Amino acid sequence: MANTTLDTLKTRIASGEARVGILGLGYVGLPLAVEFGAAGLSVVGFDVSEAKVARLNLGESYIQDVDGVRLKGLVDKGLIQATTDFTRIRDCDALIICVPTPLSKTKDPDLSMVVAATGRIAENMRAGQLVVLESTTYPGTTDELILPMLSEKGLKAGTDFFLAFSPERVDPGNPKFQTHNTPKVIGGMTPACGDAAKTLYSKAIEKIIVVSSPRAAEMVKLLENTFRSVNIGLVNEVALMCRRLDVNVWEVIDAAATKPFGFMAFYPGPGLGGHCIPIDPLYLSWKLKTLNYRARFIELASEINAGMPEYVVDRLAEALNDRERSLRGSKVHILGAAYKRDIEDVRESPAVDFIRILQSKGSIVTYTDSWVPTLEHEGIDLKSIEAGPAVDQADAVVIITDHSNVPYKDLVKRARLVLDARNATRGIEASNIVRL
C-alpha cells in the first residue's frame, strides 16, 4: 500500500523544496545547518539564545569548525536563517533536535532540553513532517519519551509523521572528518521513518547506514564512546601501574603499537574532556541500572578517568616536594585549557578540575592557551597570559593540553619544573621534566 505522505515528503526533499528546521545551533546544529544549506535546502535554525540567532543571521560563525565565509554566503543567499520563534516549526518539512544532553549533579541524564525541544515541536507540528533526534541519549529515549509526546494529537508515526534517531558524530577540530563525510547512522521508528530520514540526510552526507530501530542507533553512539572511555580508562590505569613499577608508560605504549594486529594505541592523560566521552557511557550505565544491571566496565573506567586530575596534582606535589616546595603558595602555570589539542572547546576539560584542586590547596594558578583566551567556570575566573614570562616566574609548569603551536623545547629550557601530562615533550631530554 502506497504511503502518499512519505512520497510527498521524499519528493520535496529530492526537488530541494523541503525546509529543514534545526533545534539547537551549537557544535552539532550549526555544522549540520551549513551542510543542508550547501546542499540547496532551505534551513531554519531555532535557538533560545538571541545572541546566537543574531550572529547567525549576520552570517557570523561562532563555531571553530564552521567556516565564516561559507556560512555568510549561505545566509546571504537566504538558504540559512535563524529565529527564536518556534511557531515557525510548522513551516518545516523536517525537524532535527540537536540540543545538549548533560548529566545532572547526581550523574543522572538531564533530558530537560530534549523534552523542551520536543514540546516545541509537539505544539506546532503538522502531518507530513519528519522529526529526528540527534542528541546523545540512552537507548529507548526516542520510543519511550519522544514518540508519546509527538503522538498526543493523534498523529501516527510512520503514517502521518516520521520519527528517527541519528546520533551526532562531531569531532571538533578533526581536519579529515567533518559532518559531510562522517558516515551517518539512522534508526527509524518504522521502515517508512527510516526511509524518510535516509532521503533527507542523503542530500548532505556522503554515506548513510540504516539500522533496524532508534534503540539500535542510540546504542551505536553509546558503544562508540564507551569503547573510547573504557580503553582510555585502561591506559590511565596502566600509567598508574607503570609509575609504581618505575616504567615509562609512553615507551611501553609506543613499543606495543608496533604490533601490526590485535592492538590499538590509546594514551593516558590528565582526565577526559569534551561533551561525549565523559558523559555518554554514564547514560548507558544509568539506563541499565533501571533494568537491574550494573555496567561494571563503564563505572570503573569512569572512576579511573575522573580521578586523573587528582593524580596529576599528587604527582605535582611530589615533584615540588623533591625541590623543597609545597603546593600551597607555589606558582603553577598551566599550558592548555581546552579539552584536547588545537581546539577552543573547554567542555568537561580536565584543566578545570585541575585548576580547582590546585586553588583549593593554596596554589597560585595561571595559564596559557591561545585557543581559550578566558576561562570562566564555577568559580574559576582566569585569562590566558603570555607563556614565556609566566614560565620564568612559575615554580612549576604543567602541560594539560598539548597544543601544536607551543614551543615546548624553549619553555622547558626556561622552566624550573615541567610536569608533562600529555607527552608533549617527547624527544626532549631534560632533568626538569617529570612525565605522567
User: Of residues 98, 193, 242, 276, which has the active-site annotation?
Assistant: 276
Q: DSSP states of 369-393 as a string?
A: -TT-SEEEETTEEEE---HHHHHHH
Q: Nearest 5°: phi and psi at 433? A: -95, 130
Q: And the C-alpha cell for 313?
A: 596534582
Residue 327 has, within 13 A of its CA and on its CB side, a CA count of 19
As a whole number of Å, the CA-based R_g of the chain is: 24
As a whole number of angstroms, the longest Cα–Cα distance in the chain is 82
For residues 91 and 407, give the distance between their C-alpha atoms in angstroms, rounded to a whole number: 53
Using CA atoms, how far residue 87 sits from 44, 134, 274, in Å, is 12, 21, 32
Q: Identity (one letter) of the amino acid at 8?
A: T
For residues 384 and 417, give the distance between their C-alpha atoms in angstroms, rounded to a whole number: 20
- Secondary element (H or E) of residue 419: strand 418-420
Residue 143 has, within 13 A of its CA and on its CB side, a CA count of 14
Residue 193: active-site member? no
Give the closest residue to 196 by CA, choosing from 249, 157, 229, 234: 157
Helices marked H in 20-91? 29-38, 50-57, 68-76
For residues 148 and 125, give the distance between their C-alpha atoms in angstroms, rounded to a whole number: 14
Give the closest residue to 401 by CA, choosing from 427, 434, 377, 424: 424
Query: In a 3-state reduction of DSSP, which class is residue 326?
Result: coil
For residues 165 and 214, is the Cβ–Cβ distance under 8 A? Answer: yes
- Secondary element (H or E) of residue 396: strand 396-399
Q: Which residues of 341-368 are buried (b: 16+ CB within 10 A; e: fewer)?
A: bbbbbbbbbbbbbbbbbbeebebebbbb
The set of catalytic residues is 276
